Amino acid sequence: MSVEKRELICIGCPVGCNLTVTLESGSVMKVEGNTCPKGDTYARKEVTNPTRIVTSTVEVVGGSRPLISVKTKDDIPKDKIFECMEEIKRVKVTSPVHIGDVIIENVAGTGTSIVSTKNA
């Protein structure tokens, strides 16, 4: 059995606790340093299945602005970020676009959508 320790800074709340995660054979044995339950949840997820919300922009045709901001509706696996960005780069939308409109469904096969965060 191999024991490994990983040091993280929590992003679950504004405090930014210094976390130490102890893993044994790839399983989380304990999380130390968190001052709230969000730290424990964040640390366990980050070392076993890291995910991120992706934000970017998409070109708008015929709108009041040339670009709109977009994001993933939910977090996606970290190893899908580049594939997600490749899909976003290829997209152009036609005005009108509203906040929350789905721009891409099932981006990079993740099961989540890219949604608009601006009107155009």
Tell me what pLDDT residue 2 has: 86
Tell me what pLDDT residue 62 has: 94
Task: List the structure tokens of 111.
Answer: 């099961």
d(CA 7, CA 5): 7
Region of 63 (left: φ > 0; alpha: ψ -120 to 50; beta: rest) is beta
d(CA 68, CA 52): 20
Q: What is the pTM of this model?
A: 0.83
Model confidence at 1: pLDDT above 80: no
d(CA 109, CA 44): 24
Tell me what pLDDT residue 84 has: 98
User: In 26-80, which ranges are continuous DSSP H helix?
Assistant: 37-48
What mean pLDDT is predicted for residues 85-90?
98
